[in-house]
Amino acid sequence: MHQKYSFKAIEEKWQNTWESQGSYKVSEVSGKPKFYCLEMFPYPSGKLHMGHVRNYSIGDVLARFYRMKGYQVLHPMGWDAFGLPAENAALKNNIPPAKWTWDNIANMRSQLKRMGISYDWDREVASCHPSYYKWTQWLFLQFFKKGLAYRKEANVNWCPSCQTVLANEQVVGAGVCERCSTRVEKKNLEQWFFKITDYADRLLDNLPKLTGWPERVKVMQENWIGRSEGARVVFRSEEGAELPVFTTRPDTIFGVTYMVIAPEHPLVEKLIAGKPEAEAVRSFVRKVMDQDEIARTAADTEKEGVFTGAYAINPLNGEKVPIWVANYVLLGYGTGIVMGVPAHDQRDFEFARKYGLPVRVVISPEDVELKGEELTEAFAAEGYLVNSGEFTGMPSQEAIGAVIRKVEELGIGQAQVNYRLRDWLISRQRYWGAPIPIVYCEHCGIVPVPVDQLPVLLPEDVRFKPTGQSPLAELADFVATTCPTCGGPARRETDTMDTFVCSSWYFLRYTDPLNEQMPFSREKADYWMPVDQYIGGIEHAILHLMYARFFTMVCYDLGLVGFEEPFTNLLTQGMVTKDGFKMSKSKGNVVDPNYIIDAYGADTARLFILFAAPPEKDLEWSDQGVEGCYRFLNRVWRLAVEIYEKYLPVWQDAATGALSPAGLELHRKTHSTIKRVSEDIQERFNFNTAISALMELVNTIAKYIAEDQERSEPWVVREALQSLLLCLAPFAPHITEEIWSAFGFDGSVHEQNWPEFDPAALVLDEVEIVVQINGKVRDRLLVRKGISEAELEEKVKALPKVSEALNGKTIRKLIVVPEKLVNVVIG
């Protein structure tokens, strides 16, 4: 063995060997358990960043671990390759987006290879390749056939910087674009949508079954879906126009003192027709519409409204109440009309007080009488009905059902569930995406491109000007086509699909990446799926993770797969920060993975990033911490060299005779380390503590060989070294492979069975008992294992510390925790 740890030579050597031997290629094997380990595929921005390094290091530990555990491990990598940066780069540098993207992919692929991640590169996919987006388009057509892809005009989010529309999920924070943080505007446009709302219930109901998902991700999805149960009740205006409302509190219907309609509601014009208030209402509506959507929907925006001059009739008590228009009612939720119950809804309360509308109490707590005029805030809790006709006296829970039955009887309403979730807007007015496979024909209307004409290829000779229209629209050759149905002249859809569509099914393609007949075969998908461990950033908690679930459910309904949920276990890794901030160019705190690999090697980079923090937490980058990990690997190397020189000539496989105390301790440490590392990887994902256990083992081995003069029990050292290499292999694959091979051990370290610990090795003859007096540690006692409780108590009582503390007082109580602790309670 070389005296020096030459990481560069070692890493290159083994990466080449693994590649030429196809070490990580995998196929289906019946009768062997499978493990699908998946990291979120990256956008090919050009360079790996530390977040990627962290993501893929975590995945690789698991992939290598489960391989050693005897699983068929599917561990693929690919590229989420459509998207705006390619177009922006094209504009800036005059490079075609395709070239820019493929160059970036080549660059990042070679970086990943330098990391030594165990991917099956034969399964690599790129969402911008026609062999992939052909199937994205195919899936779109399946959605279309099922009525799950449709076109409609809607008031949609528009990012003026990206010059395209966005899905609701892509508007974040205070109404800014998820990509570029530009403030999003609203536009009325005709667009393509996926009917994700049809799946709202299933997306919600399955959440509790996802026991391997972090609670917070599930909560975020639950909030996003925003299910609320209530009733739809149709009020009527005096003139007879239907005014349906959605309410979660039908029990408060006798407390309605006014109605509110959203300013942009189409009924507004009808209501004010011929009324003296008409002009005032119109000018109010204009004012609200001019207001920024974001400002208008903020919770702290002042509630404002005007009376329309029209009245509605409460269908339950026949009462006539005024209809108002107000900014706090949104057209997009429920029916866009709200029944105003100021006594029992805080928003209605504020509005009513401002405009002097009556506040009528219809729900009362058990022992207090509320008075509308005296309330300072709405009473929104449950209680008993008052002033509510035949329902008076009912508890509100019961009344909800009773009122619903009543309106059903009257034929003016029914129970209804409402969702916050909106349909997914998927069309984008941009070039670098999968073309939507649709043709518009003057005679036949919207016509899907027949499957045998897929893919609709993305033309490459395109000029870029972000104009708010897809650049494809300017390509006459692309636009002009013939109708697949009637053969007449037709025009192609020029919008492309949201890149989140492409990433909603890539995990299925990995299971069968070369299939030319189908996006994937059901057989292969059912073999590998669901993903056993998915790893990625928390930023996808709603977006990608909900879309992917939706796609999988649709595929299930289409009979393409035999499972509804794609990801059994989800690990959301924390950010990599430096100086307390997320690494970013603008902050100037970026650490380049290339630099770290050049200076210390991939093994050190991987080890540090896994050691510095548990995976779910944010990780603060530390150059000194990297040094520490580099030192550790050097220590491992020197230790191996020393063992090679001193022990290799006297190796023995098996135990002979009884071990010395030091040998026994090393043996025990070896097995406790195996136990610890196995549990930390498999059950807790605590790679940091697994690594610290390995550091302890190295320290113990070093101490042992420094003191071992006779070398009469070399098998203990051999066992310790082999176990160390095997347990370290998933974290630092190159150095362990090199040492394993230098010692002439069989095959590749990565193809060995994961070591099993021997419980017998962990058994101690003697255990240290902590002795507490009144709960405070006062002494320790070494006793033989299996000592009787009575004998232990005697020994404890005999301790000088105990008699000293006793000093005339009595022992009140003696708590004994077997093999651990005795607490003497003195009083």
Partner RNA sequence: GCCGAAGUGGCGGAAUUGGCAGACGCGCUGGACUCAAAAUCCAGUGAGGCUCAAACCUCGUGUGGGUUCGACCCCCACCUUCGGCACCA
- Six-digit token string for 597: 């690999």
Query: Shortest CA distance to 566 belongs to which of 625, 504, 513?
Result: 504
The least CB distance from residue 278 to RNA, in Å, is 23
Amino acid identity, position 404 = I
The least CB distance from residue 689 to RNA, in Å, is 5
Give the nearer residue to RNA in terms of CB position, either 352 or 483: 352
The least CB distance from residue 321 to RNA, in Å, is 14
The least CB distance from residue 632 to RNA, in Å, is 6
The least CB distance from residue 651 to RNA, in Å, is 24
- Six-digit token string for 260: 């509110």
- Six-digit token string for 21: 């031997």
Give the nearer residue to RNA in terms of CB position, either 302 or 373: 302
Give the nearer residue to RNA in terms of CB position, either 313 or 641: 641
Query: Shortest CA distance to 343 belongs to which of 359, 322, 354?
Result: 359
SS3 516: coil
Amino acid identity, position 188 = N
The least CB distance from residue 773 to RNA, in Å, is 8
Give the nearer residue to RNA in terms of CB position, either 347 or 524: 347
Give the nearer residue to RNA in terms of CB position, either 320 or 776: 776
Q: How far apart are the C-alpha atoms of 517 and 185, rounded to whole Å?
A: 42
Structural contact between residues 426 and 498, judged by C-beta atoms closer than 8 angstroms = yes
Phi, psi values for residue 352, rounded to 5°: -65, -40
Give the nearer residue to RNA in terms of CB position, either 659 or 821: 821
Cα angle 354, 359, 360 (rounded to 5 degrees) comes to 170
Structural contact between residues 310 and 217, judged by C-beta atoms closer than 8 angstroms = no
Cα angle 801, 805, 810 (rounded to 5 degrees) comes to 125
Give the nearer residue to RNA in terms of CB position, either 572 or 722: 572
The least CB distance from residue 635 to RNA, in Å, is 5
Q: How far apart are the C-alpha atoms of 19 and 319, rounded to whole Å?
A: 80
State how far the alpha carbon of 379 is from the alpha carbons of 236, 361, 363, 371, 626, in Å. Answer: 27, 9, 8, 11, 58
Give the nearer residue to RNA in terms of CB position, either 331 or 558: 331
The least CB distance from residue 749 to RNA, in Å, is 22
Give the nearer residue to RNA in terms of CB position, either 528 or 621: 621
Q: How far apart are the C-alpha atoms of 519 and 509, rounded to whole Å?
A: 6
The least CB distance from residue 74 to RNA, in Å, is 29
Query: Shortest CA distance to 244 belongs to which of 184, 301, 315, 295?
Result: 315
766: left (phi over 0), alpha (psi -120 to 50) or beta: beta
Q: How far apart are the C-alpha atoms of 307 and 257, rounded to whole Å?
A: 13
Give the nearer residue to RNA in terms of CB position, either 302 or 369: 302
Q: How far apart are the C-alpha atoms of 780 and 795, rounded to whole Å?
A: 11
Q: How many CA atoms lie within 13 A of 509 on its CB side?
A: 31
Give the nearer residue to RNA in terms of CB position, either 126 or 326: 326
Cis peptide before 455 (omega within 30 of 0): yes
Give the nearer residue to RNA in terms of CB position, either 5 or 56: 5
Give the nearer residue to RNA in terms of CB position, either 98 or 783: 783
First to last CA, the chain: 65
164: left (phi over 0), alpha (psi -120 to 50) or beta: beta
Give the nearer residue to RNA in terms of CB position, either 278 or 294: 294
The least CB distance from residue 480 to RNA, in Å, is 42
Q: How far apart are the C-alpha atoms of 115 and 52, rounded to whole Å?
A: 11
Give the nearer residue to RNA in terms of CB position, either 474 or 627: 627
Give the nearer residue to RNA in terms of CB position, either 304 or 565: 304
Cα angle 711, 713, 714 (rounded to 5 degrees) comes to 70
Q: How far apart are the C-alpha atoms of 702 and 242, rounded to whole Å?
A: 85
Spatial neighbors of 571 by CB under 8 A, at least 6 apart, are: 58, 214, 533, 534, 535, 536, 615, 616, 685
Phi, psi values for residue 403, rounded to 5°: -65, -40
Q: How far apart are the C-alpha atoms of 240 and 737, rounded to whole Å?
A: 82
The least CB distance from residue 433 to RNA, in Å, is 23
The least CB distance from residue 319 to RNA, in Å, is 18
The least CB distance from residue 510 to RNA, in Å, is 29
Q: How far apart are the C-alpha atoms of 628 and 545, rounded to whole Å?
A: 36
Q: How far apart are the C-alpha atoms of 497 and 494, rounded to whole Å?
A: 10
- Six-digit token string for 297: 């929907």
The least CB distance from residue 743 to RNA, in Å, is 21
- Tell me 358's DSSP state: -
Query: Shortest CA distance to 824 belongs to which of 777, 766, 767?
Result: 777
The least CB distance from residue 123 to RNA, in Å, is 33
The least CB distance from residue 782 to RNA, in Å, is 11
